[in-house]
Each structure stands twice: as C-alpha cells, then as structure tokens.
Amino acid sequence: MNLDLNTLLEGWPHEPGQIRVRKIMGTDGTEKIQLRLDLGLIQMEMVGRPDGLHPHGSVSLLDWHREQAEEAEAAGAAYRLSAEDCNDLHQEGIQYYHRYLALFQLEDFAGVLRDTRHNLDLFSLVAKYAEREELAWSFEQFRPYVLMMRTRAKASLELERDDIPAALLQIERGRDQIVAFLKERPEPTDTCSEVEFLNEWLAELQSKRPLSKLEVMQREMDRAVATEAYERAAELRDAIRAFREAK
C-alpha cells in the first residue's frame, strides 16, 4: 500500500487564504468531503459527526451530554460539565466548524444550517452546565461568527430563489441577533467584524434590489420638490398617503 499523500494531492494545490473543498466517493459507497490544508487534507462524513464516530453510542457528544443532563435533572440531580468534558465538546465543535465551512463552499446551505445549529446548541449546553463561567465564555466568544455563517446560509438560500427582499430580511435578522448578543456581554463592544460584514452585504444587496412601488413614488416626489413642481409633488404625496393607508 502506498501511504504517500502526494498521490492524493497531485493536481490539488493548497492556496493560502483560500478554502479548497471537494466531494469524493468513499470505499463504503457514501459521499465524503475533503478539505485541503497546507500539509495535507482532512476527510469528513457528509452527515452525522464529521469523523464518523458515535461517542457513547450517540450521534454526537452533544447529544450524549444532553441526554445525560435530562436524566440527571429528571432525577433531581445537578449536571455539570468538567473542563475535560468541555475540551472534548470543543474538539467536536471544531469538526463541525470545518464541515460547515466546506459545505458553504460547496453551496450546500441546508448542511451549513444543520451544522451551525449543532454548534450553537453546543454553546448553549456548555453555558448552562459548565462548572466554571470562563469555560462557557471560551465557547460563547464564537457565537457571533457562527450566527454570521448561519445568516449567510439563510440569505443565500433566498438568493437562490431570486428573492432579494427575503434575503435582506434574513441578513437584518442575523445582524440584529449578533448585536443583541454583544449587548448582553459584561463588556459590550461597538465593533464587530461579523456585524460589519453583514452590514456591507446588506448595502450591496440593497443597491441591487428593485424599487417597490412606494419607493418609486417617493423618489418621484423628491424630484418634483427639487424641481419646484409642487402641484405634482402634492399629487404624489396624496398618492403615497393613500397607498400606505391601503397597506
């Protein structure tokens, strides 16, 4: 058996700053995802835990800990995640992070939503049960990024349907979620790269969005005022008022 990875990587160079992804068919007959790294690649399952393992017989470590927490609470006992537990969950979160990045490149936005949901649930689990607060923050600090990727996937699905207004709404909602999260932090910040990215994307899409009937009338009225065509401006003002009342 030739164990040299160069055979697999031939013709697939690593490009710094670029995410290179491909799908392959595994020897078990199921599709796999391969993500190119600078010194090789990682291979992930398309569904389930990316490494294909079933911790404690569960679909994921997150699912197992949720089951344990529910059983403990049903018995009236407290459930706590140790530093070791959190480290294991962190490693699982990294696997899902790699996969949703790869899925985004493959434009599998439904898969991105699935895997970002997993990591957000993982953050919430740790926030609720971690034995120390700093352990919870070691996860929560990544929530803005995961929310941004989730928002990108939601908006991209709307853009696939050529529904720009719906995409704009998804971006606004995602941005507002991040802003609300940041405001709840002990040390709120006014700067956030994820919010800045979504605002820039929002502005770009707004420039491409067809004007609504109301916006067309509003712009025409503004031009009428600017050119001192006051009679026409008054007609448009009344039309705008009637349109809003009808809406």
> Which has the closest alpha carbon to 104: 152, 51, 142?
152
pLDDT for position 188: 66
CA distance 201 to 71: 44
Q: Work out the pLDDT band at 71, boundaries 50, 70, 90.
A: very high
CA distance 134 to 52: 30
> Which has the closest alpha carbon to 112: 141, 58, 142, 152?
152
CA distance 60 to 89: 9
Which segments within the chain are labelled E, that is strand? 21-25, 31-37, 40-45
How many Å separate Cα 94 from the centre of its chain?
14
210 exposure class (CB count in 10 Å sphere: 0-12, 13-18, 19+): exposed
Quick one: what percent of the chain has pLDDT higher than 70? 96
105-153 pLDDT, tens per residue? Answer: 999 999 999 999 999 999 999 999 999 989 999 999 999 999 999 999 9
> Are the beta carbons of 208 and 225 closer than 8 angstroms?
no
Mean pLDDT, the chain, rounded, equals 91
> Are the beta carbons of 102 and 18 closer than 8 angstroms?
no
Sign of the C-alpha dihedral, residues 21, 23, 26, 30? positive
Average pLDDT of span 1-15? 83
Q: Work out the pLDDT band at 231, boundaries 50, 70, 90.
A: confident
3-state SS of 179-242 is: HHHHHCCCCCCCCCHHHHHHHHHHHHHHHHCCCCHHHHHHHHHHHHHHCCCHHHHHHHHHHHHH
pLDDT for position 226: 84
CA neighbours within 13 Å on the CB side: how many for 25?
Answer: 1
CA distance 192 to 175: 10
* pTM for the structure as a whole: 0.82
> Are the beta carbons of 89 and 81 closer than 8 angstroms?
yes
Sign of the C-alpha dihedral, residues 42, 47, 52, 54? positive
> Are the beta carbons of 33 and 44 closer than 8 angstroms?
yes
CA distance 179 to 175: 6
| Residue 214 scores a pLDDT above 80 | no
